[in-house]
Amino acid sequence: MRGHKCSQQRDPAGDYLAYLKHKRYSPRTIATYGLALDKFHAWMHGQGIHHLHDLDETHLEAYRLSMIERGFADATQEVFMRAVKNLLGWMEKQGQLFMNPARGLVIRQARPRLPAVISEADMRRLLAQPSVCTKIGIRDRAILEVSYGCALRRNELASLKLLDVDLDRQCLRVMGKGRKERVLPLGKHATHWLEQYLLKSRPQLETDHLDEQALWIGYGAHPISGSAIAVLMKNYGRQAGLKLNITPHVLRRSCVTHMLAHGAHPVQLQLMLGHSGMQHLSKYLRLSIADLKAAHQASNPGK
């Protein structure tokens, strides 16, 4: 509904998205909600409804039905309906709606899909792909080890600075979502390859810009972007013969799943991931339980 006016005086959807930005919601969430509200406005226009104030419960159910008829995925339906409900709820709190037609709206949650992870054996094969006889290979091995060992988001990994690394204490300072800082332990493998990179590889890449503070650099000391890191991971995944498209988030999920399997406490993982609550860990717990059931059936205990 950005660019569309639901009333002559104001654009509630635009105001709502601005509110989300002020509250430091992620750009991806804001973009998704913006798309969802644009789609809802287009549907309203097609139904001859020109103002959000004219909506009632039957309109919202009709919109839900229209998405089902058009074959929208369950997850898409959930996000689109949640965007509409949240907008109307915000308008009610702002005094812009007297009667909120979405107050009693039940959001039907899509059946969650288990997150894609790779096995520990495949992880070892992936880590072995960079040629550590070359300066680029050492750098890439360090990137893979840190990404997996610290369960970092792509932007967190790409934005690391030299001063964020403390090899003596074997820890890493990470700036996460909402500018929230956390300090993570570096495992022995990540520490080893980071040290090799900083002592042997990075000095050979610093032909220019000796004052470059980005941790990961390429030829000419140019910082490596998050998209470039994603490409190199994808290539190493193919090189290792893995069917799954390897991304920083796949390594993040795999790290958490492997740590849960080895007895890590969910609260520790919550702090490590930089999550404000435990709800985000539920999908990892479901995956671990699924693995446990599979192992249980394969071992035929009690027979």
- Residue spans per domain, the chain: 12-93, 120-299
Give the whole-angstrom CA distance, residue 187 versus residue 146: 9
Q: What is the mean pLDDT of each run of 10 residues along the chain (303 residues)?
A: 45 91 91 94 92 91 91 88 93 90 81 73 96 96 96 93 94 84 90 96 77 85 92 96 93 87 77 66 54 45 43
Chain centre distance of CA 237: 19
**Could you give the CA distance from residue 173 to residue 164 in angstroms, rounded to a whole number?**
5
Token pair listed for 264:
């890590």
Kindly tell me the burial class for residue 217, based on how many C-beta atoms sit within 10 Å of its own C-beta (0-12, 13-18, 19 or more). Answer: buried
**Rounded CA gap, 240 and 224, in Å?**
22
What is the Cα–Cα distance from 261 to 268, expressed in whole angstroms? 14
Q: Is 222 exposed, middle or buried (0-12, 13-18, 19+ CB in 10 A)?
A: middle
Rounded Cα distance, 165 and 156, in Å: 13
Q: How many Å apart are CA 67 and CA 71, to the nearest integer? A: 6
> Which overall architecture, per CATH, does domain 12-93 show?
Orthogonal Bundle (1.10)
What gap in Å lies between CA 265 and CA 256, rounded to an integer?
10
Provide the token pair at 249: 């988030």
Provide the CB-side half-sphere exposure for 233 (13 A, CA).
Answer: 27
Which residue type is seen at 209? Answer: H
For residue 32, what pLDDT is reported? 93
pLDDT at site 156: 94
Q: Parallel, antiparallel, or unpaired for β 181-185 and 171-175?
A: antiparallel
For the domain made up of 120-299, give the CATH fold.
hpI Integrase; Chain A (1.10.443)
**3-state class (DSSP) for residue 83:** helix
